[in-house]
Amino acid sequence: MRRAVCPGSFDPIHNGHLEVIARAASLFDEVIVAVSTNPAKKYRFTLAERLDMARETLASLKGIVVEPVGDGLLAEYCRQRGVSAIVKGLRSSSDFDYELPMATMNRQLSGVETVFLPAEAHYIHLSSTLIKEVAGLGGSVSDYVPRSVHRRMVAGGSSVDDQPRG
Ligand code: PNS
């Protein structure tokens, strides 16, 4: 069983994430979408909401599990679950500069490899941050997020400092 993990804040999950997760699912037997909470970050959605949105969106895809990362190291999380690779989408060279030290650190900590997938051109400009800014200023983001996420953004979800849970 080849198991991969797609980690991230997913605040909220968007179509660029989905495209990378679907491609990861075609390469591995199981993909864990691991939703992280960094106590130093402010989130628009609670961990429970971010998990719900990811689960609702990915429910129809086979071989995908959505879980919280917890508050420990991703490398340790991967070791405990027998994960062979962390899969990340790369949109730009600045993504690469940000990701490379983490990939090297994760491999040195637990032997887990990181596999980079080039982002699909159509989604190369997408980030959760930009989507939240556009939506917050009244712009339409319906082309960029799944329906369940759009519903919550329009309804106005939580705006809280999330606390790590499990
Ligand atoms: O979507 P994000 O916030 O850019 O995701 C960042 C994430 C979850 C990949 C990164 O913060 C992470 O790996 N966090 C887990 C804690 C950890 O292992 N930190 C050391 C990384 S080498």
Residue 161 DSSP SS3:
coil
Check if 142 has its Cβ closer than 6 Å to any atom of ligand 1.
no
Catalytic residue among 9, 23, 128, 132: 128
**Alpha-carbon separation of residue 127 from 8, 92, 108, 139, 145 (angstroms):** 12, 12, 28, 15, 10
Please write the tens of the pLDDT for every residue from 48-83.
999 999 999 999 999 999 999 988 999 999 999 999
- Among 11-15, 145-149, 157-161, 162-166, which stretch is predicted with the lowest mean pLDDT? 162-166
Residue 166 in any domain: the answer is: no
Domain total of the chain? 1
Residue 16 in any domain: the answer is: yes
From 36, 47, 53, 106, the mutation candidate for ligand 1 (largest count of ligand atoms within 8 A of CB) is 36
Residue 21's Cβ-count burial label (10 Å; 0-12, 13-18, 19+) is: buried
> How remote is the CA of residue 41 from the centroid of ligand 1, in Å?
11
Please write the tens of the pLDDT for every residue from 35-50.
999 989 999 999 999 9
Respond yes or no: is residue 17 known to be catalytic.
yes
pLDDT of residue 156: 73
Mean pLDDT across the chain, nearest whole number? 93
> How remote is the CA of residue 148 from the centroid of ligand 1, in Å?
25
Check if 114 has its Cβ closer than 6 Å to any atom of ligand 1.
no
Respond yes or no: is residue 91 known to be catalytic.
yes
Question: Residue 123 and residue 163: Cα distance in Å, rounded?
Answer: 30
CATH of the domain at 108: 3.40.50.620
Instruction: Evaluate if residue 165 carries a pLDDT over 50.
Output: no
Q: For residue 115, what are the domain limits?
A: 3-161
Q: Of 32, 137, 47, which Cα lies nearest the Cα of 84?
A: 32
Residue 28 in any domain: the answer is: yes
